[in-house]
Amino acid sequence: MPAPRNRPAAVLVLAAALAATGLGPAATPAAAATIPVGAGSYSDTRPAGTVGPTTNTGTPVTPKVTSTAQGKPVPTNDWWSSLAFQRYGDNPHSTPMYGHPLTYQAVSGGLQIGYPTTPTIVGEGRQYEYAHKADLTLGLTGLNSPDTKADAWSDWTVTPYWSDGTRTLRTTIGHGMPFVYAKGSGGNAQITTASAPTVFADQGNVLGITVAGHHYALFAPTGSDWNVSGSAVTAGLGGKDYFSVAVLPSTDALATFRKYAFSFVTGSKVDWNYSGGTVRATYTLTTEAKEGTERGTLQALYRHQWLNTTDALTPYTYVSPRGTMKVRESASFTTSQKASPVLPGLPKTSGVDATRLRGYLNDVANASDPFSGAVDTYWTGKALGKLAQLVPLADQIGETAIRDKLLGLIKGRMQAWFTAGGANEFSYDQAWKTLTGYPASYGSDSELNDHHFHYSYYVYAAAIVAQYDPAWAAESAWGGMVKTLIRDTANPSRTDSAYPFLRGFDVYAGHSWASGHQGFAAGNNQESSSESINLSAALVLWGSATGDPALRDLGSYLLTTEAEAIAQYWFDADEQVFPSSFGHDTAGMVWGSGAAYATWWTANPEEIHGINVLPVTGGSLHLGGEKAAIRRNLAEMERENGGPAVEWRDILWEFQSFADPAAAKSKWDAGHASYTPEEGESKAHTYHWIQTLHTLGAPDPTVTGDLPSSAVFANGTNRTYVAHNYGSTARTVTFSDGKTLSVPARSTASGTGTGGDPDPDPDPPTGNTFQLRSGGTLTTATGGTAGSDTIASAGGTNRDGTPYQPLVYEARGVNGTLTAGASTAFRFQVDAGTTVGLGQQVRISYDLTGNGSFDRTETYNYFATDPVAGWEQYAQTRGLKSATGSLGNLANGTVRLEVWSAIGNGTSKLQTGTENSVLVIPFS
């Protein structure tokens, strides 16, 4: 959320806004019906003088939906929300919607369709856009609808609806869908192209055309025929009501796409599961066959998805603002990721001086106004979050009086908000099926913006209270209101008639959207991805503390998914998403059309780099997974800033601690006496955070525990295992390297762990494990001598996907039975030394019969090494880039491993002779 840097100015601006709406000190809220929820309540009408959803001119609006959808909870804050939320009164259709690979805009004559493939740089080089530009408009002859409405929706698809009294048109569009499916009546199918098309295939009811350099296929019912006249392409429907359009990755893909032209998508659904430290999600499209019996389809996967699936992908790809999209020929696919860690607070260590921490804690607890004048939902939330993070720290050093004082402050302020009729309250809007806190801010009322940002702090603070006072968090007490905020922002139910499913979180895009109405030419947007993460982490903690594993696991799914999206789309961790012409290493904001090096309120580099870090909590540990990106990020901040941070020093020091704890401590030591904390931070928390990570080391994402509230840290070769047990009995947490940690009931424990293999990631699935030996051998023997081989330079040329002077390792005469459901796995230790910009790549090939012909070849995405001396781990979790052929049983077969430099201009090292560098084949 935009967070003004100067508190007095922020208070003045907010006070002026309140006075303008009649909510100044003299205002008296009008009486409203009260809806009791446990010990709390909310109102069913807004306080006097306040507003709900409006147009930009202040006119109240209701959802723009068909009679079929009337009364259903509308998922605001989505990629298509302008269909239902008419923010701009002169546009009754929609603003551009970015489904990827296609873009869309509803107009009176139907649906504009585009496929932007060339980025433009705008805003003095601070933003890149793949802006919507219509290649064609899908409609019906004569269609001239006065508006466009949302008729139906599912997890990532939507059906816009047009009617002019004579003709009706429905289309189904969605993320990752290369097809647009249309049903129309009252006219012939009509495709109006931006310029006269070039026809590359004419098969009667199937027409291949090229417009603006992009290839499309048009499909009418069997027996129909497309007619091209200038820019108008029409076909009679022969008494049928369906036709479809697809964007093709190439003209030779027409036959494949024709197969699925009449397998119409009718819905989309994600199912998630957390188990033993792993989050799995399956994304499924439902279809119906308009002709024939084909029920399959094609889906284009975003980078954050194909990096984390082992499902087979076709060679087809698309361009998108999120990097390359890869096509799967199936109605479903599954991703699997190590769960992102969450802790209620960092553990106690010897690095923190209790006396010094006590002093910092007292500074906050005894402040004249611990809430710094906050009156609206956002700034109150920030203050609640700041206090909540200090509770576990006070408890660690035995300061129960400070702990309980902080808890009292938190509970008192939340109870005031959770009780209708006072100066602060939550109000339910029946038309929009949403709960809005008043006083509101940043359009959380008029535009339904940012509910997930604001309420994340309340849920997080409530989770900390629940840890120490379970009775307060009971549903019959104040927990009912906490769960009502969760229903508004992250409702896991698709059948709840009061709130939409996952209001802000876009399950296919992998992250949340902040704008409630999506009424921008660039689509929807999200600035502070970290405040979205704050809600997901809060769900993990709240679900754990209140004994609600379903909410806990939802939080883990949301957190783990968005963490990968943030790494790729905000921080460009693999340097494969941002166009080279963009020239930045981070984005302050992600838009449907691209991303911007900007915030909503300032161009100051410190805020641009810090807004996707704050608040730093035990839910921020996922940031430690991309240490090279953090170093690039902070180096750019200092270049743009003309030196080290001045204003948001604490946030950026904490950010640096995820990659370089010693450097962060050095900056704290030099600057702690002379800075003012960011308004959601405190010196107590920053001191504890930096000192603790300096002792433990940075987060180690390669090892996970079988409990969501667990984490691992590495200082050199020494790992520390941490877990919080919310249960009433002691339990043993097992980590993916085999280490275990005994954790007492309702406590945090940390230690070096017992048992296990010190470097096992990834966990080998069923199959045979081969170590590498210098000289080119793969062997199942153990007890080798540690060594290394040199990987040749890529010579400054991009070798992605094509072996170049590779290291080759082979095992011959291999026999084995293919294990059902298993896949290739590996962990290789690589080191680029201090050389910048290197990336290593792996190809694994199987000759099943030893006849010299490889039956299956798997090429994995390359691993971008950091320029810091020391081994890094490259695993199959980087994702499968491509695969050919199929696996079968091995009979005197050959297994070959090739390792080469995909990018860069320097050599690197591959570790050999140890159990830390192994290939695991899916055979028994």
- Interaxial angle between packed helices 649-657 and 661-671, expressed in degrees from 0 to 180 and rounded to the nearest 10: 150
Q: Name the active-site residue from 78, 447, 488, 527.
A: 527
Q: Note if 678 is an active site residue.
A: no
| Nearest one of 223, 136, 146 to 182, comparing CA atoms | 136
| Nearest one of 99, 250, 290, 75 to 177, comparing CA atoms | 99
Give the C-alpha separation, 754 to 467, whole Å. Answer: 27
Q: Name the active-site residue from 155, 164, 445, 531.
A: 531
b/e per residue, 795-831, with b = 16+ CB within 10 A? eeeebbeebbebbebbbeebebebbeebbbbbbbbbb
Residue type present at position 147:
D
Residue type present at position 652:
L
Give the C-alpha separation, 59 to 85, whole Å. Answer: 12
Give the C-alpha separation, 412 to 645, whole Å. Answer: 35
Give the C-alpha separation, 485 to 50, whole Å. Answer: 20
Give the C-alpha separation, 558 to 510, whole Å. Answer: 8
Give the C-alpha separation, 519 to 447, whole Å. Answer: 10
In degrees and rounded to multiples of 5, residue 699 shows phi and psi of -60, 140
| Nearest one of 636, 627, 632, 685 to 661, comparing CA atoms | 627
What value, to the nearest 5°, has the Cα angle with vertex 820 and ends 814 and 825?
Answer: 60
Q: Note if 585 is an active site residue.
A: no
In degrees and rounded to multiples of 5, residue 402 shows phi and psi of -65, -45
Count Cβ atoms within 10 A of the Cβ of residue 51 and give its class: 0-12 exposed, 13-18 middle, 19 or more buried. middle
Q: Name the active-site residue from 155, 399, 450, 660.
A: 450
- Assess contact for 482 and 539: CB atoms under 8 A: no
Q: Note if 810 is an active site residue.
A: no
Residue type present at position 421:
G
Peptide bond preceding 101 in cis form (omega within 30 of 0) = yes
**Parallel, antiparallel, or unpaired for β 168-174 and 227-229?**
unpaired
| Nearest one of 102, 18, 107, 21 to 58, comparing CA atoms | 21
The structure tokens listed for 101 are: 């690979």
Give the C-alpha separation, 279 to 273, whole Å. Answer: 6
Query: What one-character-per-residue DSSP string does 431-459 give?
Result: TTTEEEEES--TTTTTS---HHHHHHHHH
Give the C-alpha separation, 104 to 174, whole Å. Answer: 10
Helices (runs of H) and strands (runs of E) counted in the chain? 15, 51
Give the C-alpha separation, 819 to 897, whole Å. Answer: 20
| Nearest one of 714, 912, 726, 921 to 735, comparing CA atoms | 714
Question: Which positions are annotated as active-site residues?
Answer: 450, 527, 531
